[in-house]
Amino acid sequence: MCNTAKILIVDDNEVVRLSHLRSLRSTRCTAEAVWNGRQALDAMEQEAFDVVLLDLRMPEMDGLDVLKAIKARWPEIEVVIITGYPSIESAKEAVRLGAYDYLAKPVGPDDVINVANNAMRQKEWTLHTERSSRENRFAAA
């Protein structure tokens, strides 16, 4: 499934970015990486992404602010928080703001691939459900 997804990795740690890129590209995903929230939003203005893997603690904009901006502008994009500083509070807030999932670092290559695949499945299911609902409304009218 992953080879149909376009994934954006947002993390200020170069080792993490490269590791996630390598993992996702091994499954033939189209993946790009940026190091902060501003770059992420700029990249999203330029092209469409299906899934965003998002760090919480970054310079300029923290991950929760980036999540808010993504969901306000592109609500159909699935966002996965991957953080080295997990807390119950930030997990609850991330889910409340619309994050698909929340993982604590370190995450292995299989974790990255699985969460990206699952988020993509969720996006496809949501789009399918919305399309079916619209078609049913038009058929009933």
Give, in order, the Cα–Cα distances in Å from 90 to each of 17, 59, 95, 119: 21, 17, 9, 19
> Tokens 């080295």 appear where?
84
How much is the mean pLDDT over the chain?
92
pLDDT for 70: 98
Domains of the chain (ranges; CATH) run: 2-140 (3.40.50.2300)
Give pLDDT tens digits for 29-60.
899 999 999 999 999 999 999 999 999 999 98
Q: Is 123 exposed, middle or buried (0-12, 13-18, 19+ CB in 10 A)?
A: middle
